[in-house]
Amino acid sequence: MNEPIPSAPTPPKRLKQKLWTRDFILGTLTNFVISANYFMLMVVMTAYAMTVYQAPASLAAFCASVFVIGTLVARFTSALLLERVALKTLLVIGTLLEATLTALYFLHGALGLLIVVRFTHGFAFGTCSTVVTTLVTSMVPIERKGEGIGYFMLSVTLGAAIGPFAGIFISNNLGYPTLFAIATAIACISLPLALAIRVPKDATRANRKHAQSGATERAKAQTQEQAAADEVAANFMPGTAEGAREIYAGERQDGELAATNLHTSKQAVLPHTPNQKQSFASKFIEANVLPISLVACIIFFGYSSLLTFLTPFATELGLARAASVFFIVYAISMFITRPFTGKAFDRSGARPVMTPAFFAFSGGMLLLAFATNDWMILGAALLLGFGVGTIQSCGLAVAVRKTPDERLSKANATFYIMLDLGVGIGPVLLGAVQPLIGYHAMYIGMAALGLAALILFLNICGDKRVTIGRK
């Protein structure tokens, strides 16, 4: 009697890499603390300057917005700083500055001193947020980028929900000195959190590699002869590091192939082979993520209309009560949907997850434009929370997946620069347009802007392999 042929053993199921590590949690908490500090002070700064310093409205508003200017400067310079300073060292310095500068709000001197403190505080915040985002995104396993970044970005969501509410409540009921004391205590919490974070060896190696690459680029750019030699090498040595990095950044579809290419790049004679002298902009901007960053910029331009005009619009409609809890409902919507959208992003890629978010954004703006009762205002908050939250977190995940680890700091800085530009330019342009067309037409225009952003997104994310990333 023939014995049955044993079946082939079932291959072991691949274990899902751990996401909630000690350092991921510490990094997320650090980001929450600095975000809460930022939003807590931002919402009261205009009123503080007008009340305490008797500043005119325009100058008082500048006291608030100069913080964003400092943040933008930090976004541009953080990549260069990371070529010279270790990730953790820069984060610790940034959190120390956060605490020190928050304490300086107690000084009641000239208005110019307040402006200087606000600008410097913005620079410290921009540096901290860029560095901690770079650290945390480097910790997240590649196959869980969408989920991990979604959870991480909840730190900003909670900060944006708790910070403004706490800032307004404390300043109105306990006064500005108490507000500054609490804000300083919150900022101080970020320092021990930053000190406790253990930087992954891969992130340290990538940062060092980035610095070495930058030094190599500058050395090669000194003579045309060397640049010509680099071009010849690039044409006849397909295994050079630049070719490997292009495969890694553009495709990321085959893990073994990517690993092989990265190994080849480490053995290559030339670590980087630019055909031209490195431009000034390329020192600060990661061009590979500009398209998705532009999409996010457009969406946050529309989001700025909520920050700037929601309260007067709702007051005009007699719906101020709903407007007072709008951002709480908005944050709850983000908090509930982000974990699901992050996991869906990892399974299916960006297009299936982000496309509904653009429709939710436009639908929320339309609902707001035609609002006649509290429920319509709150319904708009739910839609916009899902739309903006998904586009922000998944957009950052797309940017991270398109970028090699050694250029993550530039990619994160580029993405947030575009977000800051959208939020910063929006109030200025919309403030000039709104008196001419009214709130109703303005929010209809924001809905149309969301659809325009969707068209741009579908064009730049047409290749599914790029959006899904490496498996």
381 touches 333 (CB < 8 A): yes
Q: Name, of 74-88, 331-345, 369-383, 450-464, the range with top average pLDDT.
A: 369-383
Higher pLDDT, 215 or 125: 125
pLDDT interval class at 278 (50, 70, 90): low
Is pLDDT at 405 greater than 50 in this prediction?
Answer: yes
Per-residue pLDDT band for 15 (boundaries 50, 70, 90) equals low
> Residue 434's pLDDT is what?
84
Per-residue confidence (pLDDT) for residue 298, from 0 to 100: 95
Per-residue pLDDT, 269 = 32
**pLDDT for res 124:** 94
Determine the pLDDT at residue 239. 37
Mean pLDDT of 193-203: 80
pLDDT of residue 222: 40
Task: List the domains of the chain with CATH numbers.
Answer: 17-197 (1.20.1250.20), 213-283 (no CATH), 285-462 (1.20.1250.20)
Tell whether the model's pLDDT for residue 230 goes beyond 70. no
Q: Where residue 235 falls among pLDDT bands split at 50, 70, 90?
A: very low
**Own/partner pairs for 215-224, CB < 8 Å, 24+ apart?**
215/83, 216/271, 216/272, 217/272, 217/274, 217/278, 218/278, 220/272, 220/274, 221/274, 221/277, 221/278
pTM: 0.66
Predicted confidence band of residue 331 (pLDDT cuts 50, 70, 90): confident
Average pLDDT over the chain, rounded to whole? 77
Q: Across residues 2-15, what is the average pLDDT?
A: 50
pLDDT in the model for residue 172: 81
The answer on pLDDT for 217 being more than 90 is no
| pLDDT of res. 326 | 86
Write down the pLDDT at residue 413. Answer: 79
